[in-house]
C-alpha cells in the first residue's frame, strides 16, 4: 500500500480490526519513510445494481456520489464520519440484498432519507427538500411537521 502523504511504497500494518457489522476490515498503517499513519478499509468486491435515473439513463453505482450527497445534507451537523459510513454501509447492504440488476434512483433516495432521518433531523429535511422538489412552502411545512411528530 502506497503512503498517501509521501507516496512511499513501504507501509506497515500497525493494527487490524473487524468492523462492527463484520463486513469490512479496518487497518491502521504506518509509512516506513515519513512515519505518518493512515487508515485503509478492505471490503469484498461486489457488483452493485445499475442505477436507473428518472430520465431512463442507466449509470453505475458510485459510493463516492452517495457519500457526497449525504455529506452535503450533513454539512455542519454533529454527525461523525463513522455514523455516516455506517449509514452508507446499511444502504449498500440493502441494495445488494434486493438481488436486482437495476434499481431506480428514487429507491436509493428513499433509502438515503430513511438513514438521514435516523442520523439527524435537520439533514433529513435538507435532503428531502431537494429530493422531493417541493412546489410551495406548504409542502416544506408538512415535512417539518412530520419530523416534529
pLDDT in tens, 6-47: 999 999 999 999 987 777 899 999 999 999 999 998 988 788
Do residues 29 and 64 both lie within one domain?
Answer: no
Do residues 38 and 56 both lie within one domain?
Answer: no
Do residues 7 and 64 both lie within one domain?
Answer: no
Residues 6+ apart with CB under 8 A from 38: 3, 4, 5, 28, 29, 31
Distances in whole angstroms, Cα of residue 115 to Cα of each of 12, 56, 139:
35, 25, 21
| Structure confidence by residue, pLDDT tens digits, 52-104 | 999 999 999 999 999 999 999 999 999 999 999 999 999 999 999 998 999 99
The confidence score (pLDDT) of residue 68 equals 96
Tell me the C-alpha distance between 78 and 75, whole Å: 9
The confidence score (pLDDT) of residue 22 equals 79
Structurally, the chain folds into a number of domains equal to 2
Q: Look up the domain containing 29 and give its range.
A: 1-43
Do residues 31 and 53 both lie within one domain?
Answer: no
Sign of CA dihedral 109, 115, 118, 120: negative
Do residues 39 and 65 both lie within one domain?
Answer: no
Instruction: Indicate the pTM of the whole model.
Output: 0.67
Do residues 4 and 55 both lie within one domain?
Answer: no
Q: What angle do CA 9, 12, 13 make, to 5 degrees?
A: 130
Give the 3-state secondary structure of residue 67: helix
Q: H helices then E strands: how many in the chain?
A: 5, 6
Amino acid at each position: 500500500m502506497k503512503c498517501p502523504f509521501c507516496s512511499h511504497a513501504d507501509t506497515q500494518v500497525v493494527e487490524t480490526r473487524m468492523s462492527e457489522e463484520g463486513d469490512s476490515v479496518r487497518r491502521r498503517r504506518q509509512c516506513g519513510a515519513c512515519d505518518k499513519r493512515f487508515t485503509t478499509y478492505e471490503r469484498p468486491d461486489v457488483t452493485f445494481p445499475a442505477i436507473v435515473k428518472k430520465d431512463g439513463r442507466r449509470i453505475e453505482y458510485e459510493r463516492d456520489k452517495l457519500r457526497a450527497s449525504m455529506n452535503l445534507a450533513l454539512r455542519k451537523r454533529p454527525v461523525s464520519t463513522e455514523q455516516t459510513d455506517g449509514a452508507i454501509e446499511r444502504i449498500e447492504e440493502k441494495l445488494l440484498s434486493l438481488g436486482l440488476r437495476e434499481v431506480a434512483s428514487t429507491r436509493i433516495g428513499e433509502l438515503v432519507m430513511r438513514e438521514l432521518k435516523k442520523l439527524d433531523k435537520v439533514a433529513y429535511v435538507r435532503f428531502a427538500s431537494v429530493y422531493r422538489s417541493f412546489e410551495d412552502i406548504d409542502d416544506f411545512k408538512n415535512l417539518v411537521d412530520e419530523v416534529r411528530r
